[in-house]
Amino acid sequence: MHQIKKMGVLVVLASLFAANLMAQSIVSPSLGDVLLCFRPAGGGAYDLVVDAGSVATLTNAPQNQRILITQYTGNQLADVGTNSTGWSAFTWFDDTPTLGIATNTLFTTISRNSLNRMASAPSAAPHDSQGIVVNDMSSVLIGAQITRSYSADSSDYAVIEPDDPNNNNTAYTFGQSYIGALGPDLDFGGDAEFQPENETSSGFTAAGVVVRSDFFQIPPTGQGSVKYLGYFEFNTNGAMTYVAYPTAPTVATVAASAIASSGAQLNSTVGVINTNTDNTSVYFQYGLTTSYGSSTTVTNIGAASGSYALPISGLAASTQYYFRAVAYNQYGTNFGSALSFTTTGGGTPVVPVILSIHRTNNVATVTFTTGGFGTYSLLGTNSLASGTSKTNWPAISSAAGTGSPVSLSDTNNSTRMFYIISAQ
């Protein structure tokens, strides 16, 4: 088995990563340096192998940080091309005694089937089986060191070497052409397999759309779970960027507006942390309690932070509703706080009950009960002549129902008055 030993003391933390793993180079690599490899998937003269630095730089990065891979140049990538180009990023820990349980832990990209949808996590395998993949991966770095003098474009961090267009490991014993053959063959002694390589289309450069591969940590079976670390993004201009631990969008519920008897507009603000990266969706939950029970349609808002609103209808009049905003992307879901609103009046008003009538000087005041909606009017007359309908009594004043007692007044000089309360 080929092994690349770290120069110096390796401190292994519980998370398997050490902050003091310093980036070395193709000519003097450190154990745990990430190899970024490009090859002409459609056939070409050259492959490019890049030492992108320590995996600790990626695993210790803050959430959502974007890290530009700067260890290769545009001229070096031009030797391979960006159209119909296969690329992968990976590293490993071998059987160095000081590594302990980190031995044969793999780190690898898995290509996405859809730009904005995370790839399925690869499976882990037993310790010895993953050692087979360690052997395959380490052969690439050894090949890069052997062929470093092949091209004048090579540097201490990025090596141009000859491509094996057949990917059969016969023309060149070591090198990036070999990782091109590690697709379905990159397995754990038949226990599991995964494909580390992504491939751009023949029109990738002109299309203007990035491609992405997700980055996973794969410890041997029984030594921890497979972990999602972030993703690599390859741009049509040749730039490669790593996004660490991307997270769900932020969301806040905002007070409802356009409140009517049977509907309202629900409002929110959404913060998309990884702008121009992953699609975000928003919707609202609502109902008579904070258990909600109803939801709006889901709206895809792309990658733009901002204010978003959705209307709801079919509500009961004069009723309190609770609601909250929900926003999610492939990395998780966040919920806004619960707010409430009350729809306006409608339906049949509550029959009023007169509680009191009193008169001070020329002002008569009538106090009565009300419901939570409807209009309550004080009607009055000084004559109960035969045939006079109460509905035809003159309206003196009115007020909206509040659910609490309301008082209405009448100013007149009549020595005798008759009053009723009308509810509509």
**Strands of the 363-368 sheet, one edge to the other:** 354-360, 363-368, 406-411
d(CA 102, CA 15) in angstroms, rounded, equals 9
Residues 390, 261 share a domain: no
Q: Which two tokens stand for residue 44?
A: 């070409």
- The string of DSSP codes covering 272-310 is -SSTTTS-EEEEEEEESSTT--EE---EEEET--EEEEE
The reported pLDDT for the residue numbered 172 is 45
Taking phi over 0 as left and psi of -120 to 50 as alpha, with beta for the rest, 16 belongs to: left
Q: Centre a 10 Å sphere on the Cβ of residue 382 and count the other Cβ atoms it contains.
A: 12
Residue whose C-alpha is closest to residue 176's, from 205, 134, 147 = 147
Residues 153, 83 share a domain: yes
**Residue 281 is part of a domain; what is its CATH number?**
2.60.40.10
Question: Along the 424 residues of the chain, how does pLDDT read in single tens digits?
Answer: 333 333 222 223 223 333 333 446 887 888 899 999 898 876 677 889 899 999 999 999 998 889 999 999 999 999 989 999 989 999 998 766 566 667 889 999 999 988 878 889 998 988 888 888 888 788 777 677 767 777 888 999 998 887 665 554 444 444 444 454 454 456 666 666 788 889 999 999 999 889 999 999 999 998 889 999 999 999 999 999 999 998 888 999 999 998 888 899 999 999 887 654 567 899 999 999 999 999 999 998 887 789 999 999 999 887 889 999 999 888 888 999 999 998 887 667 788 999 999 888 889 999 999 877 777 889 988 877 655 677 778 888 888 777 789 999 998 877 788 889 988 7
196 within some domain: yes
Please state, in angstroms and as integers, the Cα–Cα distance from residue 332 to each residue in 117, 118, 271, 272, 419, following that order: 12, 11, 13, 12, 63
Q: Are strands 106-111 and 211-218 parallel, antiparallel or unpaired?
A: antiparallel
Domain housing 230 = 33-244
153 within some domain: yes
Q: Pseudo-torsion of CA 190, 194, 200, 201, nearest 10°?
A: 60
307 within some domain: yes
With H, G, I as helix, E, B as strand and everything else as coil, classify residue 98.
helix
Question: Alpha carbon 344 to chain centroid distance?
Answer: 36
The reported pLDDT for the residue numbered 128 is 86
Residue whose C-alpha is closest to residue 252's, from 342, 327, 341, 328 = 327
Residues 138, 264 share a domain: no
What is the rounded end-to-end Cα distance, in angstroms, of the chain? Answer: 89
Q: Specify whether the CB–CB gap between 169 and 181 falls below 8 A.
A: yes
**Strands of the 264-271 sheet, one edge to the other:** 250-257, 264-271, 306-312
281 within some domain: yes
8 within some domain: no
Residues 282, 313 share a domain: yes
In the chain, what percentage of residues exceed pLDDT 70?
81
Residues 54, 193 share a domain: yes
Q: What's the total number of domains in the chain?
A: 3
The reported pLDDT for the residue numbered 226 is 94
Q: Specify whether the CB–CB gap between 109 and 76 falls below 8 A.
A: no
Residues linked to residue 14 through DSSP beta bridges, in sequence order: none
Residues linked to residue 397 through DSSP beta bridges, in sequence order: 378
The reported pLDDT for the residue numbered 339 is 95
Residues 388, 320 share a domain: no
Residues 238, 129 share a domain: yes
76-113 pLDDT per residue, tens: 999 989 999 989 999 998 766 566 667 889 999 999 98
Taking phi over 0 as left and psi of -120 to 50 as alpha, with beta for the rest, 298 belongs to: beta
63 within some domain: yes
57 within some domain: yes
The reported pLDDT for the residue numbered 74 is 94
Q: Centre a 10 Å sphere on the Cβ of residue 164 and count the other Cβ atoms it contains.
A: 20
Domain boundary among the residues 225, 244, 263 is at 244
The reported pLDDT for the residue numbered 388 is 63
190-238 pLDDT per residue, tens: 666 788 889 999 999 999 889 999 999 999 998 889 999 999 999 999 9
d(CA 141, CA 49) in angstroms, rounded, equals 8
Q: Diameter of the chain by CA atoms? A: 119
Residues 386, 325 share a domain: no
Residues 194, 58 share a domain: yes
Residues 292, 401 share a domain: no
Residues 225, 310 share a domain: no
- Which helix (H) or strand (E) segment is 358 a member of? strand 354-360
Residue whose C-alpha is closest to residue 122's, from 137, 102, 105, 139 = 105
398 within some domain: yes
With H, G, I as helix, E, B as strand and everything else as coil, classify residue 251.
strand
Residues 319, 200 share a domain: no
127-165 pLDDT per residue, tens: 888 888 888 788 777 677 767 777 888 999 998 887 665
The reported pLDDT for the residue numbered 14 is 29
With H, G, I as helix, E, B as strand and everything else as coil, classify residue 135.
helix
**Strands of the 395-400 sheet, one edge to the other:** 395-400, 375-381, 418-423
Domain boundary among the residues 310, 342, 374 is at 342
The reported pLDDT for the residue numbered 353 is 92
Domain boundary among the residues 290, 311, 342 is at 342
